[in-house]
Structure 1
Amino acid sequence: MVRSNKILWGTALLAALWSSAAPAALPAEQITDAALVQRLQGFSEGKVAVNGVNLHYVIGGKGPALVLLPGWPETWWEWHKLMPQLARRHTVIAVDLRGMGGSDKPATGYDKKTLASDVHALVKQLGYDRVDIAGHDIGSMVAFSFAANFPQATRRLVMVDVAHPDAALAKWPLLPDAGTFSDQLDERHPYVWWFAFHQVKGLPEELLAGRIGMEQAWMFRYLMQDEHKLDALDRAVYEAAYSSRDAIRAGNAWYQAFPQDIIDDGTYAPLAMPVLAVGGPGYEWLKSTLAAKSSNHRVAKIADSGHFIPEEQPEQLLKYLSEFLD
Structure 2
Amino acid sequence: MTHENIPFRSYRLRDGRLAYRRSTAAGAKQAVLLLHGWPQTSWAWRRVIPLLRQQFDVIAPDLPGFGDSSKPESGFDKKNVARKLHELVEGLGIEKVAIVGHDLGGHVAYAYAAQWPEAVSHFVFAESSLPTFGQEEAMDVSRGGSWHFGFNMAGDISEALVEGREFLFVNHFVRRETVGVFDPDSISNDDVNVYARALARPGALRCSFSYYRTLPLDRQDNLIWGKTPLSMPALSIGAQWGYGPASAQTLRRVATNVSEIVFDDCGHYVPEEQPVKFAKALSEFISNGTA
Q: Same fold (TM over 0.5)?
A: yes
Q: Do residues 303 (structure 1) and 264 (structure 2) align?
A: yes
Q: What corresponds to 1:15 in structure 2?
A: none
Q: Do residues 60 (structure 1) and 23 (structure 2) align?
A: yes
Q: Do residues 241 (structure 1) and 198 (structure 2) align?
A: yes
Q: What corresponds to 1:132 in structure 2?
A: 98
Distance 1:97 1:195, change over 3 A: same
- Distance in 2 (CA, whole Å) between partners of 1:310 and 1:171 is 24
Farther off after superposition, 160-169 or 122-131: 160-169
Distance 1:132 1:173, change over 3 A: closer
For 1:84-163, what aligned pairs fall within 5 Å after superposition?
84-163=50-129
**2:125/2:251 contact within 8 Å kept:** no
Q: What corresponds to 1:40 in structure 2?
A: 3
**1:57/1:96 contact within 8 Å kept:** yes
Please list the CA deviations of residues 16-71 of structure 1 after superposition, one character each: whole Å capped at 9, or x if unmatched.
Answer: xxxxxxxxxxxxxxxxxxxxxx9537623211122401010000122121110101
Q: Secondary structure at the match of 2:34?
A: strand
**1:43/1:61 contact within 8 Å kept:** no
Q: Secondary structure at the match of 2:204?
A: helix
Specify which of 208, 214, 217 is matched with residue 171 of structure 2: 217
- Distance in 1 (CA, whole Å) between partners of 2:83 and 2:147 is 29
**1:161/1:278 contact within 8 Å kept:** yes
For 1:250-269, what aligned pairs fall within 5 Å after superposition?
250-268=207-225, 269=228
Q: Do residues 277 (structure 1) and 242 (structure 2) align?
A: no
Unaligned runs of 5+ in 2: none
Specify which of 145, 167, 173 is matched with residue 191 of structure 1: 145
Q: Secondary structure at the match of 2:185?
A: helix
Q: Do residues 205 (structure 1) and 144 (structure 2) align?
A: no
The CA deviation at 1:169 is 2.9
Q: What corresponds to 1:317 in structure 2?
A: 278
Q: Do residues 79 (structure 1) and 45 (structure 2) align?
A: yes
**1:209/1:245 contact within 8 Å kept:** no
Distance 1:195 1:41, change over 3 A: closer
For 1:200, the aligned partner's letter is: A
The CA deviation at 1:77 is 0.8
* Percent of matched pairs sharing the same residue: 32
The CA deviation at 1:209 is 1.3
- Once superposed, what is the RMSD of the aligned Cα atoms? 1.7
**1:76/1:94 contact within 8 Å kept:** yes
The CA deviation at 1:236 is 1.7
Q: Secondary structure at the match of 2:73?
A: coil
- Distance in 1 (CA, whole Å) between partners of 2:78 and 2:247 is 17
- The structure whose Rg is larger is 1
Distance 1:89 1:41, change over 3 A: farther
Q: Secondary structure at the match of 1:155?
A: strand
- Distance in 2 (CA, whole Å) between partners of 1:253 and 1:304 is 32
**2:139/2:149 contact within 8 Å kept:** no
- Distance in 2 (CA, whole Å) between partners of 1:87 and 1:167 is 33
- Distance in 2 (CA, whole Å) between partners of 1:243 and 1:173 is 25
**2:133/2:253 contact within 8 Å kept:** no
Farther off after superposition, 80-89 or 291-300: 291-300
Please list the CA deviations of residues 93-125 of structure 1 after superposition, one character each: whole Å capped at 9, or x if unmatched.
Answer: 001111110001111111111111111000100
- Distance in 1 (CA, whole Å) between partners of 2:77 and 2:250 is 19
**1:59/1:93 contact within 8 Å kept:** yes
What's the TM-score once normalised by structure 1's chain length?
A: 0.81
**2:41/2:67 contact within 8 Å kept:** yes
